[in-house]
Structure 1
Amino acid sequence: MRILGVGECNDLAAMHHGFVQRGHEVRVFVEDAAYADVHGGMLDFTADWQRELGWVREAGDDGLVIFESAVKGELQDRLRRDGFHVIGGSALGDRLEADRTFGQQVLREAGLKTAASHPFTDYAAAMQFVRSHPGRYVLKFNGANSARTRNFVGEMDDGFDLLALLGLHASRQQPGEAVDFVLMEHLQGVEVGVGGYFDGQQFLQPACIDFEHKRFFPGELGELTGEMGTIVSYRGSQPLFDAVLAPLAPLLRDGGYVGYINVNLIANEAGLWPLEFTSRFGYPGYAICEALHLEPWEAIFRRMLRHDAERIATRDGFACGVVLTVPPFPYHHGYAELGKGAPICLRDSLTARDRAQLSFAEVAQVQGQLVTSGATGYIGVATGLGATVRDANAEALRIARGVVVPNLRYRRDIGERVERGDLRRLQSLGLYESAVSLAMHPSPAAQAVRQA
């Protein structure tokens, strides 16, 4: 195949590198100059992705354009109208992720409950609201590219901590600087996501269930980084899929959506409470999902574009992803002095199969040596598989210990809360199919694997 990757930060670098290793022609466009060296020496790059469209078109049905983010949906829609095969999202997907108020409206119209969410474009108005309605709120900034480290989960029941933070933001606001955010009612329960691959007509089965760990430190302390690790499974997701994703299919079909889409939720005894959309490939989510695939990405994408299959082949069990970083992640200030250019070494104990479970992100190949690159110190993700969450975590940590980089950091507790209680609570709520029920009614893919 001929594959053109388009993105801001080359977040899909590991996916593109996999294509190259499997013999496909790949060219990648990276918009943000700070990330221009990500996978340098490992991929072929282009300075103008639109200039490469003729190269893609020459490949006919073997030509593919992949978008990594949720900010160029209108371009994707236009390319599809022009006859190109495109995987990524659509203008509708961009709005679902970036405009939280719109996303919540869509979810309500799909029959789901939503937490009270209040939009603001002014810090003073938000502060007055909290004073008039004391309580715990979650501050989330709108925009698909908004910094996740700016979001905040209120801890104090009277909202005093949130008021103090809003006051700080207000004091630092520059003249003419626009702000756009929501204050969402804080909810208690199991945080869980459900995602699937939409081919423009329908979702391919099975959907996946995921448990993100967003805080920088173990015990859910520190900054909201976006993701420090995740537990993923393609088994047990049917109740969540039926309740959350299936009702969205008509909207996605009408909106021309083609790609992966995920909804993050809180589940408790009062029901399911959707929080937000991810209308793109999540990172490190796509790399962790890949560990459970029995077929390469290009095979899945061909099925999505040809509409010739309803399922993808996936493994039983769980995958654990552990994010590997160096200072100053999750920030970028001071990276040149603290972490950039550091050598990345792999222990001899890692086999070829082990190394395949490392999905590198901000790295480059310089004179035969793998080094840190990019802008934040996000090295990549170590993945592990297991019949249980604990086994998957142990395997991921074994792989992570095989990576040697100065000042390497990662969390060791990815999945502990899932193993300790989240899965059981979801099962008690009727939102997760237990291993027993799955064994009684195995998926077609699982049956095929067992027969083989």
Structure 2
Amino acid sequence: MNFLVVSKWGESLDIAYTIKQEGHAVKMFIEDKSSREIGYGFVTKVNDWKKHIDWASIIIFDYTGYGKICDELRNAGKLVFGGSEYTDLLELDRNFGQEELKKHKIKTLPSKEFFSFQEAISHVEKNPDAYVVKPCGETQDLKQLLFVGSDDKGTDVIRMLKAYEKSWGDNFGTFQLQRKVKGVEIAVAAFFNGTHFIQPYNISFEHKKFFPKELGVSTGEMGTSMFWSKNSPIFEITLGKFEATLAKKGFVGHIDINCIVNGNGIYPLEFTSRFGYPQIYIQRDGINEPLGTLFYKITSGQHLTIQTKKGFQVGAYMVVPPFPFKDKKSFELFSKDSVILFKKEMKEGVHPIHIKQLHSEWLITGNDGIALLVTGFGITMKDAQRMMQNRINNISINNSYYRTDIGDRWSEDSDKLRAWGLL
């Protein structure tokens, strides 16, 4: 088949490259101009994806913001894997997402949307509590701006809001304050074929902070651990309630909902109505069937059960300076065009992220400093971690760094989840 991959930042290179290796024809377009070197030497790149619509058997969109285009293409009879106008709103407009959760009779945490920092500061002063600051719209792509307060009186949140006001002014856009609760952070995800969710569901645990033991700034993600399950109380109470609505809205793709759970219940935090990163790379290692065939089955509305590995999958990003920050000079000085060396020519479980290929060498490109995602799998979490670490040990990248504790929380989290009846 002919696959056209439309990417916002080049994050879906691994997907495009995998489908190509399975024997399909693949063309890839990257919207962000500064990221367009990504994928050179791996797949055929195009400068205008719209010129290749008729060529494509299936079109894959890898990010939010393309929902209206996806709806139009589906209505025109194309097989499309991606978002919809409705699911774009679920992710990008946090207030809309929370209202939709309430409409579907799903318990939510108290939250409020703000347009000015002074208004938000006054709210915290009048209602002292621990809060999470969540940017909305395009600003939420800057993951470092998400701030999780720890002070029960909200003094740290007030300090952070004042800092944002000083550095961003009116350019920050809208943001949400959500009351913080303690518990286990867990996400449930599923593929959707236009009418139904597809089993099994994916249960994952994100590691968002820069350093081990959840220290440092939020990065979006440094790694994830996961497993597949045909039954999930968390799915039934959250995502499962959206099946009829997603069918009505014509959604065909992948959707994830992140939650905090504790002994008092399940509290959805936010939607990701597209591929999750690095979630999709790790999922790929747990799926025991060709990715291209799977996308065809999903986009053509087939009812199926995905063949997946038993046990656990785990993955960690290998990154280079200036990650998790953006600094063009630092990136060009320390990281751009750095060669990725393999001590043994074994690339199984090694997923190229912001990479190009020249004379069979893998070189770092882009501008964010995310080089690779390295995965492992096993019947136990320890087995999966051991495989991942062995694969990382086979790789040499100048100035690279990564978290060494991805998956460690499972031993404690699993006990809590079992006690609460959620596994």
In which range does the TM-score fall when normalised by the shorter chain?
A: over 0.9
In structure 2, stretches of 5+ residues that fail to align are none
Q: CA deviation at 1:426?
A: 0.9
CA distance in 2, matches of 1:369, 1:68: 26
CA distance in 1, matches of 2:172, 2:287: 43
AA aligned opposite 1:26? V
CA distance in 1, matches of 2:211, 2:133: 20
CA distance in 2, matches of 1:329, 1:257: 34
Per the alignment, in what secondary structure is the counterpart of residue 40 of structure 1? coil
2:376 aligned with 1:384: yes
Partners of 2:352 and 2:371 within 8 A in 1: yes
AA aligned opposite 2:416? R
Residue pairs, 1:221-300, within 5 angstroms = 221-235=215-229, 237-300=231-294
Equivalent residue for 2:323?
329
CA distance in 2, matches of 1:55, 1:307: 21
Partners of 2:334 and 2:399 within 8 A in 1: no
Partners of 1:235 and 1:316 within 8 A in 2: no
Equivalent residue for 1:408?
400
AA aligned opposite 1:73? G
CA distance in 1, matches of 2:82, 2:369: 25
Aligned partner of 1:369 among 355, 361, 369:
361
CA distance in 1, matches of 2:156, 2:256: 30
Equivalent residue for 1:430?
421
Superposed CA offset, 1:142-198 (max 9, x none): 125531111100121211111111111112234x53511000000100100000000
CA distance in 1, matches of 2:352, 2:168: 36
CA distance in 2, matches of 1:219, 1:138: 19
CA distance in 1, matches of 2:230, 2:415: 12
Per the alignment, in what secondary structure is the counterpart of residue 345 of structure 1? strand
Residue pairs, 1:170-181, within 5 angstroms = 170-174=165-169, 177=171, 179-181=173-175
Partners of 1:235 and 1:317 within 8 A in 2: no
Q: CA deviation at 1:306?
A: 2.7
Superposed CA offset, 1:403-439 (max 9, x none): 10001101110111112x111211111111xxxxxxx
AA aligned opposite 1:422? D
Large movers: runs of 4+ above 3 Å: none
AA aligned opposite 1:88? G
2:147 aligned with 1:156: no
Mean Cα deviation higher: 38-47 or 188-197: 38-47
AA aligned opposite 1:162? V
> What value does the CA root-mean-square deviation take over the aligned residues?
1.3
> Size of the alignment, in residue pairs?
420
Superposed CA offset, 1:72-125 (max 9, x none): 100000011111110011111100001111111111222221110010010110
- Give the structure-1-normalised TM-score: 0.91
Q: CA deviation at 1:236?
A: 6.6
Partners of 2:60 and 2:82 within 8 A in 1: yes
2:102 aligned with 1:111: no
CA distance in 2, matches of 1:241, 1:159: 32
2:318 aligned with 1:313: no
Q: How high is the sequence identity, in percent, across the aligned residues?
A: 33
AA aligned opposite 1:46? V
2:187 aligned with 1:190: no
Residue pairs, 1:106-145, within 5 angstroms = 106-143=100-137
Equivalent residue for 1:33?
33
CA distance in 2, matches of 1:16, 1:381: 15
Q: CA deviation at 1:237?
A: 4.8
Equivalent residue for 1:358?
350
Partners of 2:193 and 2:302 within 8 A in 1: no
CA distance in 1, matches of 2:165, 2:402: 33
2:338 aligned with 1:342: yes
- Give the structure-2-normalised TM-score: 0.97
Equivalent residue for 1:436?
none
In structure 1, stretches of 5+ residues that fail to align are 57-62, 433-452
Mean Cα deviation higher: 266-275 or 35-44: 35-44
